[in-house]
Amino acid sequence: MQPYLVGLRLNGRRVLVVGGGRVASRRVPALLAAGAEVVLVAPETTPALDDLVSDGKIVWHRRPYETGDCHGAWLVQACSDSSKINTAVADEAEAAGIWCVRADDAEASAAWTPASGQVGEITVGVLAGGDPRRAAGIRDAVVDGLRDATLESRHSRHKPVGVALVGGGPGDPGLITVKGRQLLAQADVVVTDRLAPRVLLDELAADVEIIDAAKIPYGRSVTQDRINEYLVEHARAGKFVVRLKGGDPFVFGRGAEEVLYCARHGVPVTVVPGITSAISVPSAVGIPVTHRGVAQEFHVVSCHVAPGDPRSTVDWEALGRSHGTLVLLMAVERMALIAEALMRYGRASDTPVAVIQDGTLPDQRALMATLGTVVEDMTADGVRPPAIVVVGDVVQVAREINMIRADMGRDP
Ligand SMILES: C[S@@+](CC[C@H](N)C(=O)[O-])C[C@H]1O[C@@H](n2cnc3c(N)ncnc32)[C@H](O)[C@@H]1O
């Protein structure tokens, strides 16, 4: 006979667990997550179960099973290491009309626990004819498919509405969040940026409208106005719009302007954070932005205007004086003025500097220099945006890591 799969809603309902060993330790957290009132009967427990008892999450009767323990339970888990006890528990449950799962004997068990997984509001349960490894493998495949959205339908009844501002990460398509990827797979319209992980757009269905924000005509500020209007227009037309941005939407990404515009126009907005290039691009070449004994702070600076420019609000004097790591975005074209200002305000000319272009992408390249040589080295190397400049002794840490790796015969 095939098993009949149901979803038990255990909230506030008693579940008896007999046995306090490894199996009970695995089952009890899932029962608690479903809201069950767990009563444990066992002479001994594992430390993990003991913690749950101390926290008041489960009730523990510290003794062997006794006839009558099943009374009042909706479900029984017979997990003791004695087959004799499990048989007694199962017999009592059967006589009382209570479902009992036996951990020791699948054939003798009235109910089976499926391999289960949770992705958002979706619960997956798999039974594979009594083969738990096979069931777990299939469960993993389905959960993975839901997480990366390859199984999620754009036409699901629970389709999101409005606009989702999704941080796409630094460029490597593997560095978008699970939630971001799920929302992208459900989009009707995607408004994308130049630095967003564009390879993900190839996976979208043919009828998804893709608007390249970088190609929207007119000047810079007009473009932002037009992007705002696109988001609202499409959302109001009943489309689910994903605004896919590079890095994190709130790090020099004008994300909050888009949120404000949508909010003012009554369009619901979800913000999905992304991995910012400010941390992930240095990390892609082994540079930690902080390191014990080397840097206790790091400053992320937008260099879209140069030091000394009346539009600049950056305190270059303070940055020159500080010992923290500097992570400079949009700095390539203004690097001469930046290096000069930092040295004028106190940074030594031999301060290590790294410049990373196209970080995390297949064309990634990195240049190691010092504050005194970086401009010349960047010109000689033909560095182009997008690039991140890291200033500080943390660059040396990456050098050290790479040297050790090279010594070990591995590619740095
Ligand atoms: C307008 S800012 C956007 C930053 C983005 N919101 C983030 O959190 O990463 C664009 C700048 O980010 C940096 N950047 C973004 N992606 C990069 C990458 N893959 N490699 C190097 N620099 C990158 C460059 O300095 C680029 O000029």
Ligand 1 pocket mutation pick from 329, 355, 360, 391 by most atoms within 8 angstroms of CB: 329
Q: Which residues are catalytic?
A: 193, 215
User: Ligand 1: which residues within 6 Å by Cβ?
Assistant: 170-171, 195, 246-248, 251-253, 276-278, 281, 329-330, 356, 358-361, 385-388
Give per-residue pLDDT as tens, 170-226.
999 999 998 999 899 889 999 999 899 989 998 888 899 999 887 666 555 668 899
- Nearest protein Cα to ligand 1, atom 27: 330
Nearby residues of 6 by Cβ (< 8 Å), 6 or more positions away: none
Give per-residue pLDDT as tens, 57-113.
999 999 999 999 999 999 999 999 999 999 999 999 999 999 999 999 999 999 999
Measure the CA–CA gap between 284 and 291, rounded to whole angstroms.
16
178's tokens: 């699970």
Q: How confident is the model at residue 144 (pLDDT cuts 50, 70, 90)?
A: confident
The pTM assigned to this predicted structure is 0.76
In the reported structure, the alpha carbon of residue 194 is separated from the centroid of ligand 1 by a whole-number distance in angstroms of 10
- b/e 129-163 (16+ beta carbons within 10 angstroms → b): eeeeeebbebbeebbeebbbbebbeeeeeeebebb
Phi, psi of 109 (to 5 degrees): -85, 135
The minimum-distance atom of ligand 1 relative to the CA of 280 is 9
- Nearest protein Cα to ligand 1, atom 22: 387
Give per-residue pLDDT as tens, 379-388.
999 999 999 9
The minimum-distance atom of ligand 1 relative to the CA of 329 is 25
The H or E element spanning position 242 is: strand 241-245
Nearby residues of 295 by Cβ (< 8 Å), 6 or more positions away: 289, 323, 324, 325, 392, 393, 394
